[in-house]
Structure 1
């Protein structure tokens, strides 16, 4: 009888111990699950915070872009004024922005010498246009290092023909009529402009030599073909 009781007691103790081990295992699992859940919650809060910061930053960037003439804003984004050198070349002293926009742009100078512009440049591989071109495309050509020759109806045919011949022989240059300018003949580059008296004015060759792919070029070597031909 004693032996049977001892055996029963031992079996009961073994079952109790097994139950205790199972309970401890459950507690460990619960602790692990609790910790894992806490980590997920914290991670979610961190990611949410980062997304919120980026969202706010994006809103600020969009606002700044709109103020500077980006997006659908019609402003050129330019600020500054002309400074005229002894040789008569005018240099824009100030900021010339370079944001691509799909809208018309209101430039502070005519012809424009920089600022926000169309994503597509005007072909400027010695191209001579007999009709007015879009300022926004021409400005992009200036960004590529082109010199833009413009003229009004007051320019003589001889001067127009002579300058057209020069442009046709000069990669990174273009020419077009432009009535809304202060002189009959004007040469423009990114940030620089000069009015010349005639096609034989010494400033013509000097301006071409200095500014065709000159040091002022924001994107030297960029293409002057494959853009828009108008």
Structure 2
């Protein structure tokens, strides 16, 4: 199939193997000025192209891409960035905070992703964030969640970087009434047999959210998390 014979498109879905395994469609894509939906399949191992400024939805499911071009940060109309099961992805664009219209960021299954770009808290329209990985740098802390009106499911990883209960409260989870499922992970660079003196306090402060239907955590085996009838959460020794 010769992509160059196609008329200007608003939606483009390329997936599977065959012809596209041996061709680079980036030149064709870069010429699509009116493209609003772009779905690239697992065959893409490297992405080097300019994307339409009108793009609203970008899907890269099951791709072997390791990094996204920094030009992705210039997609000011982008509303959905779905990178589900991109197992080789190591980092998101540094300028992700510039995607002011972004509403949905899905990085489930991106197992090699170990940090988030700085200042994601500036994405005021963001409603669904599948995973947030806490870091030690300024702009990568739990306080970036404070002003985000998140909905649905949220997994917070790297809670070893939260030093106190007061810092945990900065996530402002109590105001996120549309959050239904919360997963907490303390995995990090420390001895698995050690026990941070503030872990229980951080856990409790992280659970001060109404309407939660499910809570899971992986670091405190001595504590069982229960969701009460009023939607709040409690912990008790196992």
Scaled to the shorter chain, the TM-score interval is under 0.3
In terms of fraction of residues, the more strand-rich structure is 2
In terms of fraction of residues, the more helix-rich structure is 1
TM (norm. structure 1) is 0.27
Bigger RCO of structures 1 and 2 (CA < 8 A, at least 6 apart): 1
